[in-house]
Amino acid sequence: MTNNKTILNWLEEMKELVTPDNVVWIDGSEEQIEDLRRQACETGEMIKLNQEKLPDCYYHRTAVNDVARVEGRTFICSKKEEDAGPTNHWMDPEKAYKMLFDIARGSYKGRTMYVIPYSMGPIGSPLAKIGVEVTDSIYVVLNMSIMTRTGQKVLDVLGDSTDWVKGLHCKVDIDEEKRYICHFPEDNYIISVNSGYGGNVLLGKKCFALRIASYQAKNEGWMAEHMLILGIENPQGEVKYVCAAFPSACGKTNLAMMIPPEGYREKGYKVWTVGDDISWMRQGPDGRLYAINPENGFFGVAPGTNMKSNPNALISTQKGTIFTNVGRNLDDNTVWWESLDKNPPVNAQEWKGADVNGPEFIAEGNKLAHPNSRFTAPAKNCPCISPEFDKGEGVPVSAIIFGGRRPDTVPLVYQSRSWDAGVFVGSVVGSETTAAAAGAVGVVRRDPMAMLPFCGYHMGDYFQHWIEMGEKLGDKAPKIFNVNWFRTDADGHFIWPGFGDNFRVVEWILKRCEGKVDAVETPIGFVPKAEDINLEGLEDFSIDTLKDILVVDKAAWAKEAEGIEEFYKQFGDKLPAALKEQLAALKEACK
């Protein structure tokens, strides 16, 4: 498959360490994938679903102790603890390698070692990067073949280059007490042991595409961000692109695949999905910022996905998809999860494998699908996938949007005054805790740029990298905005309708980028004039209501500034001077 000495030498080390019975290279062929599916079904690792209703779709359940990312067992193993920063768990690299290799030693005995060469981004794209993952899990191979581009073509493009990321995954015993997901940013190395769950073992995803790539991006002058990429096409056929970062449960996937309101669709507006989760961005020859989606599929949360909340995501799962930890309808061998529809199957199998009466089981307070159950679906299945998705040159970014979940204080939308002011906005984005979350209610949990669990180095240095990217981009830099779809009324109901109607806000954002609409200056930035957001076709929503959720309350923002100051303390001397200045300016403006 390859003559690349760095790969071959590493694989010899791995074979000696984990002692597999067989070694199989993943060549990217459909024949090989089909054979692996068959093997997985024979061993019970996968279940073949109804091929008429769900062609090429399969079901998998993980161990009950292994159903989500484990942030407490995720480490950045930089040589200096300071370089990992206050927001990451750190482990000394020498200690980590020894511990991990001791756990992994001999763990492939009786098993097959699968070698997966994969490209993050279209193969051969100047914005793409390459990795090689070694695993003893067919489930990982099949997921990686959906989420990334795999096989011989990847190795052909890599040639004898040393610019690739090593990834070792060992299921071992799925022992949660010995589960570790470790990143060695200085060595381009990822090691995951004792897990079989996607987010911990599909090493191209958060591990490479964010934690390792964010460190590479800092050193190489680009950006690896936890952002969707969305194209908006106007009736004249012009497409403008935005990238957007949201903490979890803030509607990121819904925005990535949103359907414009009917009135817009009739006029010829369209939405194109380039990516739903991760954006890699580099400065192009014309000085602008260009983005690619390094992934090739969607690893989406199933519960809550339905034909109302996100029809494009649901349609994406109808073929070639792997479902993990959802419920099964045993009558027709299909899948079900909470909020898919209002008809849970009577003859059901819940996510742990027990046969139950679905409606009765749910009535007793149980769930057929695990709350973090997943679908792994090919991006090409998405009805609104962008024609640019596979091209590799990237799309030019007009705007960057940040958003959190705030019941008050933060208006529906505002534009930052400058790039540095926008970095400030992104660095303090957060969501307010509700009764559903553990701990105190009404506390703002900040998640800078939605990267808190995913930044592979010190977050203060990460903010500084953002500042430096702005200096590099100059007047070609995207404009930066903040949105908040989650303002609530006195009864706790959301005021803004959200979903497809968020298109109206994105339209205003793009008009601002093009200088087509004016705005009102406030202590936090530029807020729309209410009449400049199109409310046509929105029933039961008045311009007065819109004005209410565009208000900037100085007293509330003065209190917000206190919370930001407290949050910033953890970054110490690493907090960029530019952000200190932005905070001081906010405090002054709110007097």
Strand segments (E) across 293-443: 297-301, 322-324, 327-329, 334-336, 347-349, 355-357, 374-378, 395-403, 413-415, 430-432
Shared domain check, 541 and 476: yes
What Å distances lie between residue 469 and 189, 265, 270, 294, 509, CA to CA? 26, 36, 30, 20, 21
Shared domain check, 304 and 280: no
Task: Identify the CA nearest to 324 among candidates 338, 340, 335.
Answer: 335
Tell me: is residue 249 an annotated ligand-binding position.
yes
Shared domain check, 372 and 393: no
Query: Residue for token digits 């597999």?
Result: 20
Residue 452 zone, left/alpha/beta (φ > 0; ψ -120 to 50; rest): alpha
Shared domain check, 463 and 330: no
Q: What's the rounded mean pLDDT across residues 99-117?
A: 98
Distance between CA atoms of 26 and 36, rounded to whole angstroms?
10
Q: Answer whether residue 55 is part of any domain.
A: no
What pLDDT score was predicted for residue 440?
Answer: 63
Boundary of a domain, candidates 346, 381, 416? 381
Q: In the annotation, is 250 catalytic? A: yes
Q: Which residues of 161-191 are buried (b: 16+ CB within 10 A; e: fewer)?
A: eeebbbbbbbbbebeeeebbbbbbbeebbbb
Boundary of a domain, candidates 323, 353, 381? 381
Q: Kindly compute the dihedral angle of the four CA atoms of residues 566, 572, 573, 576, in this order, to the nearest 10 degrees.
A: -50
User: Pairing mode, if any, of strands 189-193 and 347-349?
Assistant: unpaired
On the question of pLDDT at 479 being above 70, the answer is yes
What's the CATH code of the domain at 151? 3.40.449.10
Q: Answer whether residue 62 is part of any domain.
A: no
Each residue's pLDDT tens digit, 227-265 = 999 999 999 999 999 999 999 888 899 999 999 999 999
Q: Are 107 and 86 in contact (CB under 8 A)?
A: no
Tell me: is residue 65 an annotated ligand-binding position.
no
On the question of pLDDT at 434 being above 70, the answer is no
User: Pairing mode, if any, of strands 58-60 and 322-324?
Assistant: parallel
What's the CATH code of the domain at 425? 3.90.228.20
Q: What's the rounded mean pLDDT across residues 23-42?
A: 98
567 residue type, one letter = F
Q: 468 vs 443, which has greater pLDDT?
A: 468
Tell me: is residue 252 an annotated ligand-binding position.
yes
Shared domain check, 110 and 191: yes
What's the CATH code of the domain at 343? 2.170.8.10
Q: What's the rounded mean pLDDT across residues 470-498?
A: 97
Shared domain check, 464 and 316: no
Task: Tell me the average pLDDT of the chain.
Answer: 97
Report, in angstroms and rounded to the nearest whole number, the Rg of the chain calculated over CA atoms: 24
User: Pairing mode, if any, of strands 444-446 and 164-170?
Assistant: unpaired
Tell me: is residue 502 an annotated ligand-binding position.
yes
Q: Answer whether residue 54 is part of any domain.
A: no
Distance between CA atoms of 575 and 579, rounded to whole angstroms?
7
Strand partners, 181: 74, 192
User: Pairing mode, if any, of strands 112-120 and 149-150?
Assistant: antiparallel
Tell me: is residue 35 an annotated ligand-binding position.
no
Q: Answer whether residue 528 is part of any domain.
A: yes
Each residue's pLDDT tens digit, 181-226 = 999 999 999 999 999 999 999 999 999 999 999 999 999 999 999 9
What pLDDT score was predicted for residue 248?
Answer: 84
Distance between CA atoms of 485 and 126, rounded to whole angstroms?
36
Boundary of a domain, candidates 360, 381, 402? 381
Q: Can you give the residue range of the structural domain that contains 141?
A: 5-46+70-219
DSSP code at position 488: B
Confidence of residue 437 (pLDDT cuts 50, 70, 90): very low
Shared domain check, 542 and 453: yes
Q: Answer whether residue 51 is part of any domain.
A: no
From 57, 77, 182, 250, the catalytic residue: 250
Tokens of 187: 């060595």
Shared domain check, 463 and 345: no
DSSP code at position 496: S
Tell me: is residue 491 an annotated ligand-binding position.
no
Distance between CA atoms of 468 and 587, rounded to whole angstroms?
24
Q: Answer whether residue 362 is part of any domain.
A: yes
Q: Are 518 and 275 in contact (CB under 8 A)?
A: no
Tell me: is residue 206 an annotated ligand-binding position.
yes
Tokens of 206: 């958060």
Each residue's pLDDT tens digit, 109-119 = 999 999 999 99
Confidence of residue 436 (pLDDT cuts 50, 70, 90): very low
Shared domain check, 407 and 271: yes
Q: Answer whether residue 59 is part of any domain.
A: no
User: Pairing mode, if any, of strands 525-528 and 519-522?
Assistant: antiparallel
- The number of folded domains in the chain is 3
Q: What's the rounded mean pLDDT across residues 478-498?
A: 96
Shared domain check, 566 and 474: yes
Q: Is the pTM of the predicted complex or chain greater than 0.75? A: yes
Distance between CA atoms of 297 and 320, rounded to whole angstroms?
11
Tell me: is residue 254 an annotated ligand-binding position.
yes
Q: Are 23 and 115 in contact (CB under 8 A)?
A: yes
| Cα diameter, the chain | 70
Each residue's pLDDT tens digit, 521-579 = 999 999 999 999 999 999 899 999 999 999 999 999 999 999 999 999 999 999 999 99
Q: Answer whether residue 179 is part of any domain.
A: yes
Tell me: is residue 374 an annotated ligand-binding position.
yes
243 residue type, one letter = C
End-to-end CA distance of the chain: 66
Q: What's the rounded mean pLDDT across residues 334-357?
A: 98
Shared domain check, 280 and 189: no
Shared domain check, 376 and 410: no
Tell me: is residue 197 an annotated ligand-binding position.
yes
